């Protein structure tokens, strides 16, 4: 058996719990009940009403409550627009349109809307902070275009598009999503034609962003929102409005008859930006581009800036290519010259190792001539001039040391570059020589090396 507690009022009785708790300024106090929601704090105020943050008393769903001003509740037109905003938002049903899911009356007869609670900032606040990059600007404008296109397909013209009615909602995973707000003065179109919510000839909208035909009080279609989007794009890309004045009448007059300045004359923008913005700000509604074309041009503008941050003429590319080729040729030549010098340094030591200078040592003064042990015959020096006959001395013949066959020599004593003459080439006994000036004596170290190189490993049989 289920027991119902009597001490807790049901949601149906929240609206009849008594008068609203308001402050001296007319705002609701925290804790006041508006339908099924309990007010926590004030979020903002506008010309039509005040927005509060509230929470559902049963399911704890956090929402935003838009409460119509008390003086507006006595005006049937204001109440009708309030209802129109709720119907328009639910009729569109797009992710870039704020979701409105509740409507009701307070205990004192004031109309309110319950809508999704958004965290972030308005586009107007973002423009005031400055530092908008081209990529970010194009991305935001493309999302606004998606929202307007969905509204137009549902037969709704916003008529009051401006940065304060565009909200940049922060997402839990990072990034922002554009939310289009305030369809209070939206116009419903039937069969492609507008249905007047105001009297013919009356003007309604924001003077800084109003379309010329809207300022004249004429019938509107979706091109009026395209004009307002062009004004927002002009402000985001250049940092200023196309028309500026402190007087609303002057602003409306400029929108009607004054051509807008070229955007590139205010900020460094490519020609495609000039063409797009000037087309969107055309005074004739039929000459303005459709929203799909606007989004396509914004994509081209964003992708073109990503590919090349600076526009370079064709001759600039030719000069750049020529300079790059000249640099490559210079590097190749430098590398070739360096390789040639390195090869020359390698070849010079190799030539010295193959053909070292030949040093000769004479032992005629101390011993008879020994058989020459060399791998290749070397050119003999020219013979000295013969001395006079009186100076000729006949030395006694000396026995030459016996020459042993090459196979009897010790391998450790052999020089790798010397060969032993065969028996057929065995030298004959030394012939008598004439006396001549003795050459300089070799150094002891060199003489020792030569003696060691020519000495036999076996003891000689002849003393």
Element (H, E) at 122: strand 120-122
Average pLDDT over all residues of the chain: 74
Q: How confident is the model at residue 166 (pLDDT cuts 50, 70, 90)?
A: very high
In this prediction, residue 442 carries a pLDDT of: 52
Which pair of structure tokens corresponds to residue 356? 């070292």
What is the secondary structure of 357-424 as a DSSP string?
Answer: PP-----TTTSPPPPP--SS--PPPPPPPPPPGGG---PPP-PPPPPPPGGGS-GGG--TT-----GG
Q: How confident is the model at residue 334 (pLDDT cuts 50, 70, 90)?
A: confident
> Which single residue is written with the structure tokens 């707000």?
181
Instruction: Please state, as a whole number, how many other Cβ atoms lie within 10 Å of the Cβ of residue 46.
Output: 14
d(CA 369, CA 401) in angstroms, rounded, equals: 9
Q: How confident is the model at residue 451 (pLDDT cuts 50, 70, 90)?
A: very low
Find out whether 121 and 198 touch, Cβ atoms under 8 Å. no
What's the gap between Cα 185 and its chain centre?
43
In this prediction, residue 452 carries a pLDDT of: 45
Give me the mean pLDDT over the 7-21 stretch: 39
Give me the mean pLDDT over the 81-100 stretch: 85
If DSSP codes are grouped into helix, strand and coil, which group holds residue 66? strand
Q: Output the pTM of the full model.
A: 0.60
Question: Which residues belong to CATH 1.10.510.10 in the chain?
Answer: 120-307
Express each pLDDT in 180-238 by its tens digit.
988 766 666 544 444 444 444 445 778 999 999 999 888 888 999 999 999 999 999 99
Does residue 326 surpass a pLDDT of 60?
yes
In this prediction, residue 428 carries a pLDDT of: 52
Q: Could you give the residue numbers annotated as active site?
A: 160
In this prediction, residue 21 carries a pLDDT of: 53
Query: What residues have CB less than 8 Å from 384, skipping those under 6 apart?
Result: 436
Question: Which residues belong to CATH 3.30.200.20 in the chain?
Answer: 16-116
Express each pLDDT in 254-287 by its tens digit.
999 999 999 999 999 999 999 999 999 999 999 9
Helix axes 291-307, 134-153, angle to 10 degrees: 160
Higher pLDDT, 256 or 410: 256
In this prediction, residue 454 carries a pLDDT of: 42
pLDDT above 70 covers a percentage of the chain that reads: 60
* CATH number assigned to the domain covering 16-116: 3.30.200.20
> Which single residue is written with the structure tokens 């037109």?
77
Higher pLDDT, 427 or 57: 57
Query: Does domain 120-307 match CATH 1.10.260.40?
Result: no
Rama region for 232: left / alpha / beta (φ>0; ψ in -120 to 50; rest): alpha
d(CA 109, CA 416) in angstroms, rounded, equals: 123
Which pair of structure tokens corresponds to residue 113? 């809307």
d(CA 376, CA 242) in angstroms, rounded, equals: 101
Give me the mean pLDDT over the 128-138 stretch: 91
What are residue 434's phi and psi, to 5 degrees?
A: -90, 150
Angle among Cα 71, 72, 73 to the nearest 5 degrees reads 90
């Amino acid at each position: 058996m289920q027991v119902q507690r009597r001490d807790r009022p049901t949601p149906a009785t929240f609206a009849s719990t008594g008068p609203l708790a308001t402050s001296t300024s007319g705002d609701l106090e925290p804790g006041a009940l508006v339908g099924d929601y309990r007010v926590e704090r004030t979020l903002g105020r506008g010309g039509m009403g005040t927005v509060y943050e509230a929470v559902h008393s049963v399911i704890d769903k956090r929402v935003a409550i838009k409460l119509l001003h008390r003086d507006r509740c006595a005006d049937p037109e204001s109440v009708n627009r309030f209802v129109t905003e709720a119907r328009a938002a639910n009729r569109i049903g797009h992710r870039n349109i704020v979701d409105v899911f509740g409507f009701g009356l307070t205990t004192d007869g004031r109309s309110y809307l319950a809508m999704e609670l958004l965290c972030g900032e308005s586009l107007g606040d973002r423009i005031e902070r400055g530092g908008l990059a081209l990529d970010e600007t194009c991305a935001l404008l493309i999302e606004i275009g998606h929202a307007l296109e969905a509204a137009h397909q549902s037969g709704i013209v916003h008529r009051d598009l401006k940065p304060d009615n565009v909200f940049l909602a922060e997402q839990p995973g990072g990034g922002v999503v554009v939310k289009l707000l305030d369809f209070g003065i939206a116009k419903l179109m039937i069969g492609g034609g507008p249905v007047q919510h105001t009297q013919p000839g009356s003007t309604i909208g924001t003077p800084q962003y109003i379309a010329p035909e809207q300022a004249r009080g004429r019938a509107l279609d979706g091109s009026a929102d395209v004009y307002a989007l062009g004004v927002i794009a002009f402000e985001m890309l250049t940092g200023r409005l196309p028309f500026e004045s402190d007087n609303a009448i002057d602003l409306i007059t400029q929108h009607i008859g004054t051509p807008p300045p070229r955007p590139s004359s205010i900020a460094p923008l490519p020609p495609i930006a000039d063409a797009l913005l000037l087309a969107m700000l055309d005074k004739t509604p039929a000459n303005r581009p459709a929203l799909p074309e606007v989004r396509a041009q914004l994509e081209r503008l964003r992708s073109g800036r990503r590919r090349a941050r600076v526009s370079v003429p064709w001759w600039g590319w030719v000069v750049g290519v020529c300079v790059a080729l000249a640099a490559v040729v210079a590097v190749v030549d430098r590398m070739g010259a360096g390789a040639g010098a390195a090869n020359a340094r390698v070849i010079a030591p190799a030539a010295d190792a193959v053909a070292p200078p030949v040093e000769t040592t004479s032992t005629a003064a101390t011993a008879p001539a020994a058989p020459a042990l060399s791998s290749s015959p070397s050119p003999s020096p020219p013979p000295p001039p013969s001395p006079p006959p009186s100076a000729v001395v006949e030395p006694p013949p000396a026995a030459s040391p016996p020459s042993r066959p090459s196979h009897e020599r010790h391998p450790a004593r052999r020089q790798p570059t010397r060969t032993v003459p065969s028996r057929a080439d065995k030298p004959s006994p030394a012939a008598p020589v004439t006396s001549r000036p003795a050459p300089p004596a070799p150094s002891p170290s060199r003489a020792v090396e030569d003696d060691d190189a020519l000495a036999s490993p076996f003891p000689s049989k002849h003393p």
